[in-house]
């Protein structure tokens, strides 16, 4: 299948061609026709499956094909609710890319920065609003956002909303939406609380499921290095001696851990920055921008900050610390090997982390190959 088979309008196919899109990913191939038929959708898909395009493309088409009068120009037609600032920014960038020939206006709002540029954009009028829950509710309470004439509602990364304690805020937003709307719900996992939430949002939804969370992309070459905790810094520097590693995304479990790794890397002359919740929004955006344009070789991230990091051609993910939640491993390594590209994922495992590795093996239903040929190898 190619995008032309999905009956997309010329302004969108032109934009997709410019972006280099030819073949839809499985979720795009399944979801786009359903959304174009104006049905509600329940999408079970993890990060890296192409789900942003799966909802952005058909929404842009439906709104473009049904223009509104000049009198209605001030109303928000679509809301995409997402858990993190980084993801919100990236979704906004996707709407800009796919909708560049549609004349539809969009903006993004999130906390941690001054609200004036955001409220100025809202006052000028937007069709599509991408938002994080806290800032959205804040601006609704101040009278800057009205959702009573909404046509489309997307809840993205619903399971992460639950993890981050946003479900109460999400429910507050849902109460403000018109009953007649098209709703799209995406989650990587479907625990009971998420199923219940989906049932309150969706009406007779079509279900689309791709790559369950327990699976890792076949294109990612995974390996584990057994190492003493005290030797992890040395092992990281040893791996980065390989100059073919242009960029690497390194994961730690804590903010403090991320800062410590950056200190070690900088001392060794490796350009690096940390991205986590204690960093200002500007610092996070700058770090991400520098990483994308490869003026920064290593980005060190915590799991929550990394959600939504979407970097084209990222070849290496390094788990400096093994996550204590096995699904997190799948999400982490899914930052590489995206959309069919090849990727490499290295994991450093110390004695205390062996139970976490065992849980990951159980989840992905295979054992990650061990690399013994390194200067800091320890007996298992």
Ranges 44-48, 144-148, 311-315, 332-336, most confident:
144-148
Residue with tokens 């995206």: 338
On whether residue 372 sits in a domain, the answer given is no
Q: Please tell me whether residues 55 and 196 are part of one structural domain.
A: yes
At 191, the pLDDT band (50, 70, 90 cuts) reads: confident
How many domains are there within the chain? 2
Top-confidence residue, 272 or 279: 272
What pLDDT sits at residue 71? 55
Provide mean pLDDT across the span 72-81: 86
**Local confidence band at 85 (pLDDT 50, 70, 90 cut-offs):** confident
The last residue of a domain, from among 209, 244, 272: 209
157 or 219: which leads in pLDDT = 157
pLDDT reported for residue 180: 95
Average pLDDT, the chain: 89
Query: Of 147, 177, 209, at which residue does a domain stop?
Result: 209
173 and 231 fall within a common domain: no
- Note the pLDDT of residue 336: 84
| Residue 165 belongs to domain spanning | 3-209
Q: Look at residue 36 and tell me if it is in a domain.
A: yes
pLDDT digits (tens, 9 = 90+) for 96-135: 989 999 989 999 999 989 999 999 999 999 999 999 999 9
- Whether 232 maps to a domain, the answer reads yes
168 and 128 fall within a common domain: yes
Residue 116 CB-density burial (10 A; 0-12 exposed, 13-18 middle, 19+ buried): exposed
Mean pLDDT highest for which of 41-45, 210-214, 231-235?
231-235
Place of tokens 């942003």: 52
* Residue 161 lies inside a defined structural domain of this protein: yes
Pair (83, 164) in one structural domain: yes
Give me the pLDDT at residue 211, please. Answer: 62
Nearest partner of 157 among 132, 188, 126, judged by Cα: 188
What pLDDT does residue 354 have? 94
Are residues 259 and 179 part of one domain? no
Same domain? 121 vs 140: yes
- Tell me the C-alpha to C-alpha distance, in Å, between residue 166 and each of 26, 193, 325, 349: 29, 13, 19, 32
pLDDT digits (tens, 9 = 90+) for 87-98: 898 899 899 989
Let me know if residue 214 belongs to a domain: no
pLDDT at residue number 140: 97
In this structure, are 24 and 74 located in the same domain?
yes
> In angstroms, how far is CA 80 from the centroid of its own chain?
13
- 135: domain CATH number is 3.40.50.300
pTM: 0.65
pLDDT tens track for 130-174: 999 999 999 999 999 999 999 999 999 998 898 888 999 999 999
| Rounded alpha-carbon distances, angstroms, from residue 168 to 161, 163, 173, 191, 193 | 9, 12, 9, 17, 12
> Is 375 domain-assigned?
no
> Are 203 and 279 in the same domain?
no
254 and 131, same domain (yes or no) = no
Q: Do residue 202 and residue 229 come from a single domain?
A: no
| Of the residues 209, 236, 261, the one at which a domain ends | 209
Percent above pLDDT 70 for the chain: 93
Let me know whether 84 and 183 are in one domain: yes
Query: Which pLDDT belongs to residue 299?
Result: 95
- Whether 201 and 252 map to the same domain: the answer is no
Residue at 138 is within a domain = yes
The answer to whether residue 147 is domain-embedded is yes
Alpha helical stretches, state H, the chain: 10-18, 26-36, 51-65, 85-98, 116-124, 133-141, 158-163, 167-175, 192-201, 232-240, 255-267, 281-292, 303-306, 326-333, 354-364
Q: Model confidence over 273-326: pLDDT tens digits?
A: 998 867 776 888 889 889 988 999 999 998 766 655 777 778 899 999 998 878
**pLDDT of residue 79 exceeding 90:** yes
For residue 342 the two structure tokens come to 């090849």
């Amino acid at each position: 299948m190619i995008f032309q088979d999905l009956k997309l309008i010329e302004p969108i196919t032109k934009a997709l061609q410019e972006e280099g899109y030819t073949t839809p990913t499985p979720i795009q191939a399944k979801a786009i026709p359903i959304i174009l038929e104006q049905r509600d959708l329940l999408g079970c898909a993890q990060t890296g499956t192409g789900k942003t395009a799966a909802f952005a493309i058909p929404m842009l088409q439906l709104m473009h094909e049904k223009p509104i009068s000049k009198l209605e120009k001030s109303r928000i037609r679509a809301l995409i609710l997402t858990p993190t600032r980084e993801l919100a920014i990236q979704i906004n960038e996707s709407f800009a890319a796919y909708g560049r020939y549609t004349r539809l206006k969009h903006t993004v709002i999130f906390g941690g920065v001054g609200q004036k540029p955001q409220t100025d954009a809202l006052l000028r009028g937007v069709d599509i609003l991408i938002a994080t829950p806290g800032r959205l509710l804040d601006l609704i309470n101040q009278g800057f956002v009205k959702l009573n004439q909404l046509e489309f509602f997307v809840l993205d990364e619903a399971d992460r909303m639950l993890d981050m304690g946003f479900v109460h805020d999400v429910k507050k937003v849902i109460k403000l939406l018109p009953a007649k709307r098209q709703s799209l719900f995406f989650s990587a996992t479907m625990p009971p609380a998420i199923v219940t939430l989906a049932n309150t949002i969706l009406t007779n939804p079509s279900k689309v499921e791709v790559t369950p969370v327990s699976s890792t992309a076949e294109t990612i070459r995974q390996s584990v290095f057994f190492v003493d905790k005290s030797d992890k810094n040395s092992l990281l520097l040893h791996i980065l001696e390989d100059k073919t590693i242009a960029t690497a995304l390194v994961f730690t479990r804590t903010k403090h851990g991320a800062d410590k790794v950056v200190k070690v890397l900088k001392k060794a002359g490796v350009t690096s920055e940390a991205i986590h919740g204690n960093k200002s929004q500007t610092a996070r955006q700058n770090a991400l921008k520098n990483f994308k344009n490869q003026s920064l070789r290593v980005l060190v991230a915590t799991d929550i900050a990394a959600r939504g990091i979407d970097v084209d051609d990222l070849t290496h993910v390094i788990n400096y610390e093994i996550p204590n939640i096995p699904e997190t491993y799948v999400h982490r390594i899914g930052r590489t090997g995206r959309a069919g590209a090849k990727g490499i994922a290295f994991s450093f495992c110390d004695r205390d982390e062996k139970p976490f590795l065992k849980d990951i093996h159980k989840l992905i239903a295979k054992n990650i190959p061990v690399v013994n040929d390194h200067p800091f190898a320890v007996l298992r």
